Amino acid sequence: MINFKNIKGNIYGGITSGIIALPLALAFGVASGLGASAGLWGSILLCLFASIFGGTPTQISGPTGPIIVVIAAIATTHGHNPNLVFMTVLLAGVFQIIFGLLKIGKFVNFVPYPVISGFMSGVGAIIILLQLNSLAGITFDGSPAQSLLHFVTSLNSIHFQSLLLGLITLGIVFFTPKAIDSKIPAPLIALICGTFLSISLNMNVATIGNIPASFPAFSLPMISFSQLKIVIPLALTLAVLGAIDSLLTSIVADSLTKTKHNSNKELIGQGIGNIIVSLFGGLAGSGATMRTVTNIRSGGNSRMSGIIHAIFLIFVVLCFAPIASKIPLAVLAGILIKVGVSIIDYKFLKILRAAPKSDLAVMFFVFLITVLDDLILAVGVGIVLSSLLFAHNISNQMNVKIKEIEPEEKPVEDDETSIDEDAVNHIMVMHIKGVFFFGSASQVLARVEHLFDTKHVIIDCQSIKSFDISAVFALEEMILRLQDDDIKVSVVFNNRKLAVNLLRMGLIKFITKDNIFFSVETAVEKAKLKMAQE
């Protein structure tokens, strides 16, 4: 449902965020290889449909840094085949809808911060590296590393008029006072000033080129079956990155509005938007943090602001396309370099010296893989590496102590329940404390050898915080090894429910209910009694 309350705030929020989106949409479109028009219509259509169907009412969607990096890589690798690119976008939208229907939106909260930090800083570095040549008026199409190398080896080919416009743009976007930037976004000022200088001085620089002042035509992308095998993993990459980007932006929106977004509905809305975008030749996108924050701070508080945002950009396309076609590429490169610098995670960089070494390692590896190889591989490697390091840290917190029962000071000789000092010394208690899981199971098993020189072992599991199946199997193996050496075993749990569950998982094959207790004292007394009767 569209909320018509606060109409003034939503109109202002939509237009203000649209003003910020305009130069970015043009720049992202050109950088992606699909053209400025694709960037504009990607912003329009995605924002419109994601606003209507999504789960974050104040979110403004459109092309973003991580998305254009992937699209540019696809376009470059596959010969700028538009059908292949747009089919990738279409399937990415389908995957996002599936993610939403399967309710996996909540899992974005489990992506470790060092992974996000390395990924975002890597994306920022990629954008900067890819725009260096355009800033200097040098034509180049390749990877970030190749772009840097080409820039360094082509310094004698710099187009000085383009470089001048690029440097002026950088000066404006980096040094415009906040008081002015809050009223008129610095990227828009740079866009207007750079284009005005280029036209008024009749500069011979590369420009955006023709932008049709009309609605895009509907076109269903068609590819061969062999190409489908190429497209599916690319689409999955795009879907995952778009989902992460959108849901992280939704979390930011929640913190500003004191509301709670619907993650799964948001994924469905983003998926619908990207499917529509692909059918009209637009650039894929996701939730955009800067535009969303601007919308909220400008008064936008409902889906209406996103719809106004789309309507404003449609007006710009239909009325100002001829002027926009004359925007210099060097100006767009300067704007994108500022975007890249802004994406880098300075929050993490500021605490590098104090941050744990494991987190630094994860961030560093994710950053390198993002820049030099593949974005989705970087996220995957980061998550796996973080998980392994986390498991290692948790396993180190496992505490296993083996205690020998002290002999009784004055054993009562006529009492049949009493035992002599030698018998008492042959009861050992193993206290296990912490998380008993696959990472710590081997640590527990390694202590079994210290229990062989005894007659009865009591395994105290009362302080174990949680089990997994690896822990159950480790417990079974430990009991079996002790029993093979004619050592009696008792197990102590802190509640009956846990004991029943473990018995059902196979522990009942090795011990009976008579060997299960709920206090160490009871288990010790029972062991003493049994040994005295032997």
Please indicate, yes or no, whether residues 335 and 429 belong to a single structural domain of this protein.
no
Domain count across the chain: 2
Domain region containing 428: 397-533
Query: pLDDT digits over 471-484, tens only?
Result: 888 888 888 888 88
Q: What is the pLDDT of residue 87?
A: 94
Residue 1 domain flag:
no
Rounded-to-integer distance, Cα 15 and Cα 306, Å: 9
Question: Is the pLDDT at 311 greater than 90, yes or no?
Answer: yes
Residue 523 domain flag:
yes
- What distances in angstroms separate CA 471 from CA 380, 429, 489, one per listed residue? 26, 18, 17
Decide which of 372, 389, 406 is a domain's last residue: 389
Residue 273 domain flag:
yes
- Residues 85-114 have a mean pLDDT of 89
Residue 2 domain flag:
no
Phi, psi of 94 (to 5 degrees): -65, -45
Looking at per-residue pLDDT, the higher value among 283 and 527 belongs to 283
Looking at per-residue pLDDT, the higher value among 466 and 36 belongs to 36
Q: What is the pLDDT of residue 285?
A: 94
Estimate to the nearest angstrom the gap between the alpha carbon of 108 and the chain centroid: 6
Please indicate, yes or no, whether residues 371 and 425 belong to a single structural domain of this protein.
no
Q: Give the residue among 23, 525, 11, 29 at the shortest CA–CA distance from 320.
A: 23
Please indicate, yes or no, whether residues 404 and 385 belong to a single structural domain of this protein.
no
Looking at per-residue pLDDT, the higher value among 453 and 288 belongs to 288
- Residues 122-141 have a mean pLDDT of 87
Residue 510 domain flag:
yes
Please indicate, yes or no, whether residues 143 and 165 belong to a single structural domain of this protein.
yes
- Residues 286-307 have a mean pLDDT of 89
Question: Is the pLDDT at 415 greater than 70, yes or no?
Answer: no
- Residues 263-289 have a mean pLDDT of 95
Decide which of 335, 365, 389 is a domain's last residue: 389
Please indicate, yes or no, whether residues 259 and 277 belong to a single structural domain of this protein.
yes
Decide which of 389, 413, 428 is a domain's last residue: 389
Query: pLDDT digits over 43-83, tens only?
Result: 999 999 999 999 999 999 999 888 888 888 888 777 678 89
DSSP states of 289-303: HHHHHHHHHTT--SH
Which stretch of 153-157, 167-171, 268-272 has the lowest confidence by average pLDDT?
Answer: 153-157
Average pLDDT, the chain: 85
Secondary structure (3-state) at 261: coil
Contact present, 463 and 433 (Cβ < 8 Å): yes
The token duo for 305 is: 């602001």
Rounded-to-integer distance, Cα 358 and Cα 351, Å: 14
Contact present, 16 and 278 (Cβ < 8 Å): no
What percent of the chain is modeled with pLDDT above 70? 94
CATH number at residue 407: 3.30.750.24
Residue 212 domain flag:
yes
Helix, strand and coil percent figures for the chain, each rounded to 5: 65, 10, 25
Q: Give the residue among 95, 82, 75, 57 at the shortest CA–CA distance from 244.
A: 95
Q: What is the pLDDT of residue 105?
A: 78
Please indicate, yes or no, whether residues 414 and 355 belong to a single structural domain of this protein.
no
Please indicate, yes or no, whether residues 355 and 424 belong to a single structural domain of this protein.
no
Q: What is the pLDDT of residue 314?
A: 94
Query: pLDDT digits over 500-524, tens only?
Result: 877 777 777 777 778 888 888 898 8
Looking at per-residue pLDDT, the higher value among 387 and 218 belongs to 218
Rounded-to-integer distance, Cα 180 and Cα 167, Å: 20
Please indicate, yes or no, whether residues 361 and 420 belong to a single structural domain of this protein.
no
Please indicate, yes or no, whether residues 282 and 373 belong to a single structural domain of this protein.
yes
Q: What is the pLDDT of residue 413?
A: 45
Q: What is the pLDDT of residue 428?
A: 86
Please indicate, yes or no, whether residues 412 and 370 belong to a single structural domain of this protein.
no
Contact present, 130 and 31 (Cβ < 8 Å): yes
Please indicate, yes or no, whether residues 274 and 295 belong to a single structural domain of this protein.
yes
- pLDDT grade for 423, boundaries at 50, 70 and 90: very low
Burial 208-243 (b: 16+ CB within 10 A, else e): beebeeeebeeeebebeeebeebbeebbebbbbbbb
- Residues 390-406 have a mean pLDDT of 78
Query: pLDDT digits over 312-350, tens only?
Result: 999 989 888 888 889 899 999 999 898 888 888 888 888
User: Sheet holding 399-404: strands in order across?
Assistant: 399-404, 427-436, 456-467, 488-492, 516-517
Query: pLDDT digits over 2-43, tens only?
Result: 556 678 889 988 998 888 888 889 988 988 888 889 999 999
Q: What is the pLDDT of residue 417?
A: 40
Please indicate, yes or no, whether residues 101 and 222 belong to a single structural domain of this protein.
yes
